[in-house]
Amino acid sequence: MPKEVLQGTLDLMVLRTLDVMGPQHGFGLAKRILQVSQGLLDLNQGTLYPALLRLEQRRWIKSRWGVSENNRKAKFFELTARGRKQIDEETRNWETTVALMAKFLAKTGDL
Amino acid sequence: MSWRWIVDVFRRRRLDADLDSQLAYHLDALEAEGRARGMSPADARAAARRDMGGLTQIKDAYRDQLRLPAVETIWQDVRYAVRAMRRSVTFTVVVVSTLAIGIGANTTVFAVLDSVLLQPLAYPTADELVALKLSAPGAPGLADGLRLSPSMYRTFADRNRVFQSLGVWVATRGTVTDVGEPEEVRAIGVSDGLLRTFNVPPAAGRWFVTGDHLGARRPPPTPLRQYTTVMLSYGYWQRRFAGQLSVVGRTLMVDGLPKTIVGVMPKEFRVVDADTELIFPLAFDDSRFTLAGFNYQGVARLRPGVTIAQANADVASLIPVWMRSWSDGPGTTSRIYETWNIRPDLRPLKGEVIAGVTDVLWVVMATIGLVMLIACANITNLLLVRAEVRQKELAVRAALGAGRARIIRGLLVESVLLGLLGGALGAALAYAGVRVLLAIGPANLPRLNEISVDARTVGFAAMLSLVSSVMFGLIPAWKYTAPRIAATLGTLGRTTSVSRQRHRVRSALVVVQVAIALVLLVSAGLMIRTFQSIRHVDPGFTEAEHLQLLRMFFSQTAGTDPERVTRMQNAIQDQLASIPGVSSAAFGSAMPMEGFGPNLGVVNFGRIYTQDQQGLTADNGPVRLFKYASPGFFRTAGTRVISGREIAWTEVYDLRPVVVVSENLARELWGTPSAAVGKYIRHLPDMPWHEVIGVVQDVRENGVYEHTPATVYWPTMSASLNARPGQPNAIRGVTFVVRSERTNTPAFLNQLRQAVWSVNPSLPASPRTMREVYDRSLARTSFTLVMLAIAASMALFLGVVGIYGVISYVVSQRTREIGIRATLGAQQRELQRMFVRHGLVLAAVGVAIGLGAAAGLTRLMSTLLYGITPLDPMTYAVVPVILVIATLLASCLPARRAASVDPIEALRSE
């Protein structure tokens, strides 16, 4: 069963996707994230679009109107320099969390 | 929160449209994908819709992100807080009214403090103004420095290089006879340059110009010529002339001579701190200047950029110039002034104006501030109890996902709301409070007319309410949102014994309250002790409430001949003495504490010469207070005659050279009072030697606080009043004093007036009692006492309530434990003692801390004390006892409740 997006992880997913793929519109991002998650994730658009706005408000990404592959007007998002820095930061955080959880799960008996 | 948020709020509509087109694109793209996978258009659209989820929800979530989150949720908190407040009305009323009283009292005192101490004086560029003071450490007997003589004024005004302008002034009194009943009014003589120095434009008419300071010649030796113009104060103008502009140009009879009114000064104008009715021009006659005549106060306006130190240096360089330029007459030398060691001691004018009240106001402000702290501690305790009660609610909120920060914020919003409510009420109270304070405040408070509740005051109230609400809100918020809430959910509903830690906060608060209350009680105690020691001081007169005073001036129109004036004064004295119920009447140059400084021409300072055993003249250096007393003056006032006797009327009329001296002068010059009788003194080389015929007790001339000056009492008509040999003069400004038990009754006052007017109908007769004079001289002390007493009783009350609250709470929390103890055989008495002991321990710790704090803090009020030290053992012994007794009572009530708990009930109630 597909998982809800874990709080705080969507930002990193979006940033990372934009980092790898370059400027993307909302649909493209959603599609890519679902693709990468290989169906493990249930990405609600009600989370994605507010998240994009939030990231923009934090100035980690910026947006501009452009023309999509099928020649329609679409809003494209791309990483800012701050956003690139943020990826490192968030990645570190995530790794810490993972390591921490791993310890708990591995050594249940010692706790 | 970044600024983008704020921008986005305003771009909301465009961003909405943005989202719409983004979503439309997303939907179309999904649909296109579906079709590409071979779906029918209708199926593809339906699938896309499904995948997309609810558009409305997406938009809502998006809009949430757009909002100012803090503002939005704070509004929620506010609404929540209002609901909570409405649910517990009693709590809200108690907290808000405690705060309102606290903030109101603080704001009131602040309004006064701000207007009096902090705001600049009401003159243009007031920081340039300095008081032109001199010190003369070589001239003992001068309590308050040396004032300026006319020749000094002339030297300084003409030769200084540091002032834009300077002037001198002198406060005196005058009689106005042609507006209604004859009235004795306050008058201030100002030299050329003084009004320019203050630079306050007149409200009507004009200032004095140089011509007004010329005047007409008067008989020698006075250096003052007869002035012919006068200005009115705003108050007098309103009171006597209803503010008519036509008053400018009319004449006014002052001291029997017509003066032309040339202008009116505006309402806020004061000459330094002196209020007045009339302002008249000092017309100096330079040809009669001597070095002496130190009767004038100087004010100067510094040139821009000149410091007080530079100005001091400049004036210092002018003092030798002054000594060379003038002389006290043939046969005298200026060497005496060299020994006086006269030095300039310029001070900012504002400091001079507020000198007497700075300490008082700061002490009162600090006191009221401490009361506010106690009130906050009490409210904190109330909030703690309330938070305890609401623990379940908070736990539920936390369980539903409210973060700790959010809950803290919610609780803080509640306390800030309480604080602001209290603050608003408090500010309103301050409006009334300022009026009350002005009514009970010292009548001689400087800058009284400038006190108002203004924007700064309201700002202070707002700040105070915010700071205090955060102060009392933060502790409960912090404690009750600690991350053990989830755990409490399970145990709620059972009154478990409360954790030690929570007790600790509450106990600490009570200890602080007791400590502060102790400090305030000690301060109030010190003031009470000060009053006691003042009461034990013999002021040099008796039964002040039975002494009626009448102040009047006998102008040249009343008689130019000294004997005529004296006979008139004698007649009035006899008339007054014959009123039924009057035991005796007399007059003198002034009664003690009447508030005429030695500069008023009423009483004088001068040096005296004494004859030693070889019959030689010895110059005794220090200046003495000169007063003039009619026969019967000491008997009427109640001043004890220690040795010898009073002056008799025959001696006055025969111009017999006799004097009475004060005890301290007699002891200083001749060792004992009895040795003084029969000795001789004089104060000018060419006047006859005056025989000392009596010695009277020392009199507290300048107030109970002040030292008793060595005094010479001359006859009211004597050669001592005149520098010309053989030419006697009569004292013209006099205070009649009447001893009677009927003082201040309407019939009596009427008889007094009739008695005066039967002799001369153009004399003023506005009576007051010596008690009023005496109380006024103590106004500062009694004001401090009243304020500290109010603050201390508030503190004691709040402290007792605090202890009561804590013990009651502890009892209610431990009901179960009490039940168990009782079941196991604990005696009622024992249980009771357990709780009383708890209260006493708290009180003891508070008292110990408070004693330490008081020992440090009360030193700050040492200038307000009299006859005791700030560490007065009596006060420090009694106050802790009072506090401990109060604590005992406060903890006894709840303890008794605890002891009477029915064990069965207590256990069942769980």
Three-state SS at B468: helix
User: B327 pLDDT exceeds 90?
Assistant: no
- The more confident residue out of B12 and B96 is B96
- Find out whether B643 and B694 touch, Cβ atoms under 8 Å: yes
Instruction: Find the helix or strand (DSSP H, E) in which B261 lies.
Output: strand B257-264
Cross-strand bridge partners of residue B232: B264, B278
Number of A to B CB contacts under 8 A, please give it. Answer: 64
DSSP one-letter code for B710: P
> How far is Cα A23 from Cα A68, in angstroms, rounded to an integer?
11
B5, B18, B32: residue with CB nearest A57: B5
CA pair distance B538, B515, nearest whole angstrom: 37
Nearest-Cα distance to chain A for B54, in Å, is 8
Q: What is the Cα–Cα distance from B744 to B728, expressed in whole angstroms? A: 36
The answer to whether residue A80 neighbours chain B at the CB level (below 8 Å) is no
The pLDDT of residue B485 is 47
DSSP per residue, B522-538 = HHHHHHHHHHHHHHHS-
Instruction: Dig out the tokens for B552 from the structure.
Output: 């009047």
Which residue ranges form the domains of chain A, and what is each CATH number? 3-110 (1.10.10.10)
Q: What's the pLDDT band for B599 if we cut at 50, 70, 90?
A: very low
Q: Which chain B positions have a beta carbon within 8 Å of A54's beta carbon?
A: 65
pLDDT at B439: 77
Q: Which of residues 4-33 of A touch B (CB under 8 A)?
A: 25-27, 30
pLDDT over threshold 70, residue B902 = yes
The arithmetic mean of pLDDT across residues B680-685, rounded, is: 75
B862 pLDDT more than 80: yes
CA distance A70 to chain B (A): 9
Question: Higher-confidence residue: A42 or B580?
Answer: B580
pLDDT at B89 over 90: no
Report the distance separating Cα B857 and Cα B690, nearest Å: 52
Q: Say whether B744 sits in a helix, a strand or coil.
A: coil
Nearest-CA residue of chain A relative to B15? A53
pLDDT value at residue B603 = 41
Instruction: Mutate one of A27, A54, A61, A75 to test the B interface: name it (highest B CB count within 10 A).
Output: A27
Residues of B in contact with A47 (CB under 8 A): 61
Dist. CA B668–CA B523, nearest whole Å: 38
CA B630 to chain centre: 38
Look at residue B601 in the predicted model and tell me its pLDDT. Answer: 36
Phi, psi of B643 (to 5 degrees): -150, 145
B50 touches chain A (CB under 8 A): no
Residue at A50: amino acid letter: P
Per-residue model confidence (pLDDT) at position B157: 92
Higher pLDDT, B638 or B471: B638
pLDDT at B600: 35
Greater confidence, B241 or B68?
B241
Domain boundaries of chain B, sorted by first residue: 3-67, 69-124+356-493, 134-345, 512-536+774-910, 555-762
The pLDDT of residue B617 is 53
Mean pLDDT of A72-99: 87
In chain A, % of residues over pLDDT 90: 1
- A59 and chain B: CB distance < 8 Å anywhere? yes
* DSSP element (H, E) containing A71: none
Residue matched to tokens 């791309």: A78
* Cβ pair B65:A72 closer than 8 A: no
Q: What mean pLDDT comes out for the span B486-509?
A: 58
Average pLDDT over residues B593-597: 67
- The answer to whether the beta carbons of residues B810 and B581 sit under 8 Å apart is no
E strand or H helix at B641 = strand B641-644
Q: How far apart are CA B687 and CA B727, in angstroms?
A: 10
Report the Cα–Cα distance between both ends of chain A, in Å, rounded. 31
CA distance B735 to B185: 14
Q: Which of B2, B23, B65 has its CB closest to that of A53?
A: B65
Mean pLDDT of B151-164: 92
The answer, yes or no, to whether residue B55 has pLDDT greater than 60, is: yes
A50–B61 C-beta distance less than 8 A: yes
Residue B14 has pLDDT above 80, yes or no: no
Is residue B620 scored above 60 in pLDDT?
A: no
Nearest to B61 among A27, A46, A58 (CB): A46
| pLDDT at residue A4, as a whole number | 65
Instruction: Kindly report the nearest CA distance between residue A45 and chain B, in angstroms.
Output: 6
Chain B residues lying within 8 Å of A32, measured CB to CB: none
Record: contact A27-B61, CB cut-off 8 A: no
Nearest CA in chain B to A28: B26
Q: In this structure, what DSSP letter does residue B722 have? A: -
Contact B18 A56 (CB under 8 A): no
Residue range B801-812: average pLDDT? 78
Confidence of residue A109 (pLDDT cuts 50, 70, 90): low
**H or E stretch at B577:** helix B562-577
Q: Do residues B433 and B461 touch, judged by C-beta distance below 8 A?
A: no
Average pLDDT value for residue range A77-98: 88
Give CA–CA dist B318/B323, Å, rounded: 9
Angle formed at CA B457 by CA B452 and CA B460, multiple of 5 degrees: 165
Question: Strand locations in B676-746, DSSP E?
Answer: 680-682, 690-696, 711-714, 717-718, 729-730, 733-740
Interface test mutation site (partner B, options A7, A33, A49, max chain B beta carbons within 10 A) = A49
Residue B272: partners with Cβ closer than 8 Å, 6 or more residues away: B131, B169, B297, B299, B349, B352, B353
CB-based contact (8 Å) between B15 and chain A? Answer: yes
Query: pLDDT of B701-731, one tens digit each?
Result: 877 777 788 888 989 888 766 545 567 788 8
**Percent share of chain B, pLDDT over 90:** 19
Which residues of chain A make contact with B57, given a CB cutoff of 8 A?
46
Q: How do residues B421-438 score in pLDDT, each as one tens digit?
A: 999 999 888 888 888 877
Query: So what's the pLDDT on residue B10?
Result: 63
| Model confidence at B372: pLDDT above 70 | yes
State pLDDT tens for residues B188-231. Answer: 999 999 999 999 999 999 999 888 888 887 776 677 888 899 99
Q: What is the 3-state secondary structure (H, E, C) of A8-72?
A: CHHHHHHHHHHHHHCCEEHHHHHHHHHHHHCCCEECCHHHHHHHHHHHHHCCCEEEEEEECCCCC
pLDDT of residue B208: 92
| Candidates A49, A57, A75; nearest CB to B58 | A49
The alpha helices in B285-357, defined as continuous H runs, are 308-325, 335-340, 349-354
Region B589-603 average pLDDT: 61
Chain-wide mean pLDDT for chain B? 82
User: How high is the pLDDT of residue B153?
Assistant: 93
Q: Is the dihedral of CA B630, B631, B633, B639 positive or negative?
A: positive
Choose the closest CB to A49 out of B19, B28, B32: B19
| pLDDT at position B154 over 80 | yes
| Contact between B559 and B568 (Cβ < 8 Å) | yes
Distance from the Cα of B81 to chain A's closest Cα (Å) equals: 30
pLDDT at B673 over 50: yes
Question: Among B4, B25, B66, whose Cβ lies nearest the Cβ of A72?
Answer: B25
CA distance B700 to B162: 39
Give the chain B residue whose CA is nearest to the CA of A67. B25
Chain A partners within 8 Å of B18 (Cβ): 75
Structure tokens at A7: 């709080």
pLDDT at B904: 73
Q: Is the pLDDT of residue B504 over 70?
A: yes
Confidence of residue B300 (pLDDT cuts 50, 70, 90): very high
Entry pTM: 0.71
Q: Do A27 and B29 touch (CB under 8 A)?
A: yes
Q: Could you give the maximum distance between any two Cα atoms of chain A, in Å?
A: 60
What is the ipTM score, two decimals? 0.82
Measured in angstroms, the CA of B7 and the nearest CA of chain A are apart by 10
**pLDDT higher than threshold 90 for residue B280:** yes
DSSP letter, residue B213: G
- State CA B165 to chain mean position distance: 31
Residue B117 distance to chain A (closest CA, Å): 49
B275 in contact with A at a CB cutoff of 8 Å? no
Contact B442, B109 (CB under 8 A): no
pLDDT recorded at residue B1: 45
Which long-range contacts link B213-219 to residues 24+ away (Cβ below 8 Å)?
Answer: B213/B281, B213/B282, B213/B283, B213/B284, B214/B283, B215/B281, B215/B283, B215/B285, B217/B285, B218/B285
B505-515 b/e with 16+ CB inside 10 Å = b? bbbebbbbbbb
Mutate to test the interface with A, among B5, B6, B65, B66 (most CBs of A within 10 A): B65
* CB-CB contact of A87 with A12 (8 Å): yes
